[in-house]
Amino acid sequence: MMSDYEIIKKQYRKRKFFLILSQFLLLVFVLGIWELFAELKIIDDFIFSRPTAIVELLIRYIKRNELFNHVWISVVETVLGLVIGSIGGIIVASLLWYSKTVTKILEPFLNVLHALPKTALAPIMIIWAGAGMKGIIVVAISILFVITVLSTYNHFMNVDEEKIKMMKSFGATKTQIFTKLIFPSNLGNIASVIKINIGMSWIGVIVGEFIVSREGIGFLIMYGGQVFRLDLVMMGVLVLAFCAYVMYYIVEKLEKWIIKKRGEM
């Protein structure tokens, strides 16, 4: 006889397998319909391309060792933008929580910066920071930094006030309240902010590569559009989607690990 735990575990595995299978079948169905419509001339494969053409092009780029260099450059730019922007945003959000005076001084500026269209200002930022990887990373940071500050600060301020009062009643300092309560209780929220930042960082990198780069996934997409190679454009988009998903998956696994560790403490 199986225990209740084993039954629940088995049911969970079945549900997970069914979910993955459903996702896979949906993907196959969409790609199949896409290929069929292109074959039957329902859609113009010159404009929409087709899955088989994209796969053939992807294989050619892999065999010629061209794809890895473009992917590597874009991933490095995205990761650096994500790490620097997220850590910087969390540090600033922590300073805002520590000082109400600093919050009152910076809040209107942060709101204005948040409202500005950062992608439209990308050319100016690249001129200031310099063309190449440095300028692209600055664009990525600019897009996610203010969002990180505001989101993280709001999470810090939404911690249960009664818990804070209880710690104060035991003589806890502001630093102890932050390190023992505020920050640890928001690790899951910070992980969620970072997951959002993955997409923001990719937006900044692709926009920057559109403007100045001669390498990277953004350059492949832009070049494909300029020469009307829609198979190259779609290949770039699919590679971009895959890279973004892998980064999202890693952060999600890290988030679950942190939650599990906190539950064991």
| Residue-wise pLDDT tens digits, 200-255 | 999 999 999 888 888 889 999 998 888 888 889 999 999 999 999 999 988 888 88
Cα separation, 168 vs 33, in Å, equals 62
Residue 13 neighbours by CB distance under 10 Å: 10
pLDDT of residue 175: 87
In Å, how far from its chain's centre is CA 215?
A: 21
Q: Which two tokens stand for residue 120?
A: 């439209």
> Would you say residue 258 has pLDDT above 80?
no
Cα separation, 231 vs 236, in Å, equals 9
Cα separation, 70 vs 97, in Å, equals 40
pLDDT of residue 265: 54
Answer with the residue of higher pLDDT: 76 or 4.
Answer: 76
pLDDT of residue 85: 94
The answer to whether 152 and 93 have CB atoms below 8 angstroms apart is yes
Cα separation, 80 vs 210, in Å, equals 18
pLDDT of residue 160: 83
Across the chain, mean pLDDT equals 87
Average pLDDT over residues 13-34: 90
Predicted TM-score (pTM) of the model is 0.85
Under DSSP, the state recorded for 181 is I
**245-257 residue pLDDT tens:** 999 988 888 888 8
Binning pLDDT at 50, 70 and 90, where does residue 1 land?
low
> Would you say residue 90 has pLDDT above 60?
yes
Residue 140 neighbours by CB distance under 10 Å: 31
**142-187 residue pLDDT tens:** 999 999 999 999 999 988 888 888 888 888 888 888 988 889 888 8
Contacts of 75 (CB under 8 A, 6+ apart): 243
The answer to whether 227 and 174 have CB atoms below 8 angstroms apart is no
Percent of the chain whose predicted confidence (pLDDT) is above 70: 96
Q: Which two tokens stand for residue 12?
A: 């969970």
pLDDT of residue 202: 93
Cα separation, 184 vs 206, in Å, equals 33
Contacts of 174 (CB under 8 A, 6+ apart): 98
pLDDT of residue 241: 92
